[in-house]
Amino acid sequence: MTQRYFVYLSYDGTAYHGWQVQPNGISVQQVLEQKLTTLLRPTDAAGIQVTGAGRTDAGVHARLMVAHFDTDTPIDCPQTTYRLNRMLPRDIAISKIEPVAANLHARFSATSRTYHYYIHTQRNPFLRHYSYEMPYKLDFGKMNEAAQLLLKVADFGAFCKAHADVKTTLCHVTEARWTAVEGDDEGRYCFIITANRFLRNMVRAVVGTLVDVGRGRISVEEFGHIIASGSRSNAGESMPGNALFLWDIRYGNAER
């Protein structure tokens, strides 16, 4: 009898071409599938197939990613977690594996995802891999005013990668705000955004356009016009992926 399992993991995306299997580079999904196939030795020649809750881009990190796989062989979840961690590279960590109902889907059953984007305003060599060094003075009050407009719209085509293969650009954003990193005296800030779904490159494009607001290059009103236009060419540049983290995923009322 086939059993579905959820895998909860985190990873440093620096060395990977994103989550999803790519023809021209190593991905987190590829590594996880290879190690699970080696460990569980499925009878299916295709090996263990893993489905993730999202598709982080190249260089993007995950504090929490949830994925599922199916297998005909019952497994000892704590032991499998331990053995899998021994096999995986040090930049990927499994926190737990648990059996779930067959109709639960890591991607489609998720009700929300949260991303964090980090910037720092003082040069710091220890932050360079996980935060963007901002050379300009920013007006975070204006940036937060503009960010609130994201909660009032549904179509985010202006922040979707051009020619992306998506059926709809509709998303429901429930949180979007800039906040100073608590207890940090190095001028670090974090953009927190939560939605039911995200488009490819959406968060980095939103951040880049909000930075334009903070620099005074566009007004809050113009930010609203950019959203309404639905055109990616009107929005700001995408920010680098190394400062972006998939932070949280929720299923129903449960926090994962």
Catalytic-residue membership of 57: yes
d(CA 109, CA 56): 18
8 A C-beta contact, residue 246 and residue 54 = yes
- Crossing angle for the helix pair 220-229 and 140-147, to the nearest 10 degrees: 30
Distances, alpha carbon 184 to alpha carbons 12, 122, 134, 142, 144, in Å:
22, 11, 16, 22, 20
Count of other CB atoms within 10 angstroms of residue 239? 23
Give the three-class secondary structure for 176. strand
Count of other CB atoms within 10 angstroms of residue 53? 25
Paired with 108 in beta bridges are none
Tokens of 176: 């979007």
Backbone phi, psi, residue 146, to 5°: -70, -40
* Residue of 12, 44, 57, 165 marked catalytic: 57
Tokens of 59: 């260089």
d(CA 115, CA 13): 14
Per-residue three-class SS string for 29-84: HHHHHHHHHHHHCCCCCCCCCCEECCCCCCCCEEEEEEEEEEECCCCCHHHHHHHH
Closest alpha carbon to 218 in 152, 145, 168: 145
Which residues carry out catalysis? 57
